[in-house]
Amino acid sequence: MKSRKTSALTSPFDAQRIEEIRKGAELIVSNWDKIKSEKDFETFKEGIRPWRNKVRGEYQALMRGLTNAATDSDKVKNVDRTLDSWRKKAKPFFDVTQNVDPYPSVWDSWDKSRATWRDKLQAAIDGLSGVAKWLKSLAKKGIVVELADTTPRNMELSGFPAQLVGFDPKDEEHVEALKKLKRGLKVFEDKTSKAMPAMVEKMVPIQAYFDEKSPLGSAGRLGDGTIKIWPLNIGKVDTFVHTIVHELAHHWGLELLSQKARGRWVELTKEDVKDLDLREVLKSWPENQPMHEWEQKIKKDDPALYLQLQSIFYEHVKVPQELKDNWTRESIEKYLEGGGDPKISVPATPTTPYGATNPNEGFAEALALLIAYGPRAVDPTIRGWLEQVLPGELKTALIRSLVKIAEELIDRP
């Protein structure tokens, strides 16, 4: 356990700081029912961003401050219990900050569950009042909870504007994660400026959250016109570059591609389907071999088939539900014996299993593979599609030669 030390970066935590959070939350609750459309929802998300970041910083600071007070001061009774109850009370704030901050498409589900979230937020407001009172009573006894200043700080990381949320320079884990983030961004910049310089030029601001692990497990996500990064989730540098490019590709897909180019991409992916014959699948799947073993084998022997089989589990790929639910040799046999159509439609040129989710994810995955792992990681057909919708933007050697070949082959009017 770290000891409580005063330094330039600590300040006493008083009830006033909690009071500010509480006031902000009340304002939000009072506006809750005025959100009537996705557009309102977007405005609302934008409006509460500063409050949300403040809450995140304060929450973390308070947790640390109380923990330190608990270990340092004999005068504080029941600190553990209070700490626990504060955690429970503040949790809805955190959940709410997640649930008002997702992909735009989540509006529908937010709308459906808005009453639940408002109740949780209201309960958190009441809880905060209790914590404020408790802190006041501590102050009367002369006990001051000191805490690190974790207000968001703005800086440049590898030349990109970034805001660090909840960063504590005294926390070794944070310092280590910041190093990883810097290294990852440097590699991202190197690779991307070679393969697609415009993506670096049109980079969006970074928000890096040090106060938690990513709620989605992935180290990055696009939202509020920023790229959000969870440095504590950064693993291998290539994976990180893949994640960042994937998210920025969504930014391109949403903001920078023309309507026509977007439409073209959807067309290309939708046209690129083939029928997979379940009878053939059964032939190549040895009897008595469990699915995962067989998959490992075809992953090496026939990667395209592997990806096609993975893609059947995605919602939009039209496969009879009974097979999606239960993908075994027996269930396929039963389905065929029952007169089921042996042909199912799958992507002819899959990128990654996740890329099969929908055309947007396919675009993000294709671009991410191309930039993070090089042109050879992407099927030539898909490289050609990328070149069509991003004309002149891609600078990889293989793409250049592909364009040249295409120019020679295609008759120009």
Residues that bind Zn ion (CB under 5 A): 361, 364
Q: How far apart are CA 19 and CA 21, in angstroms?
A: 5
CB of 12 to Zn ion, least distance (A): 43
Nearer Cβ to Zn ion (168/361):
361
Nearer Cβ to Zn ion (18/364):
364
Nearer Cβ to Zn ion (164/389):
389
The H-or-E segment that residue 343 falls in is strand 343-347
Nearer Cβ to Zn ion (135/390):
390
Nearer Cβ to Zn ion (64/250):
250
CB of 63 to Zn ion, least distance (A): 31
CB of 254 to Zn ion, least distance (A): 11
Question: Residues 6 or more apart from 287 whose CB is under 8 A from it?
Answer: 329
Question: Residues 6 or more apart from 132 whose CB is under 8 A from it?
Answer: 15, 18, 19, 22
CB of 19 to Zn ion, least distance (A): 39
Cα–Cα distance list, 149 to 61, 136, 168, 343, 383 (Å): 7, 20, 8, 61, 47
CB of 360 to Zn ion, least distance (A): 7
Q: By beta-carbon distance, which residue lies closest to Zn ion?
A: 364
Nearer Cβ to Zn ion (232/364):
364
The stretches of 252-376 forming alpha helices (DSSP H) are 259-271, 278-284, 291-301, 303-311, 321-325, 329-337, 359-373
Nearer Cβ to Zn ion (211/361):
361
Residue corresponding to tokens 């120019």: 407
Report the Cα–Cα distance between both ends of the chain, in Å, rounded.
Answer: 74
Question: Which amino acid makes up residue 214?
Answer: S
Closest among 261, 253, 184 to 222, alpha carbons compared: 253
Cα–Cα distance list, 254 to 178, 359, 386 (Å): 29, 12, 15
The H-or-E segment that residue 40 falls in is helix 38-72
Nearer Cβ to Zn ion (146/361):
361
CB of 159 to Zn ion, least distance (A): 25
Nearer Cβ to Zn ion (92/220):
220
CB of 198 to Zn ion, least distance (A): 20
Contact 187, 245 (CB under 8 A): no
Task: Please give the radius of gyration of the chain, using alpha carbons only, rounded to the nearest integer.
Answer: 26
CB of 250 to Zn ion, least distance (A): 6
CB of 364 to Zn ion, least distance (A): 5
φ/ψ of residue 292, rounded to 5: -65, -35
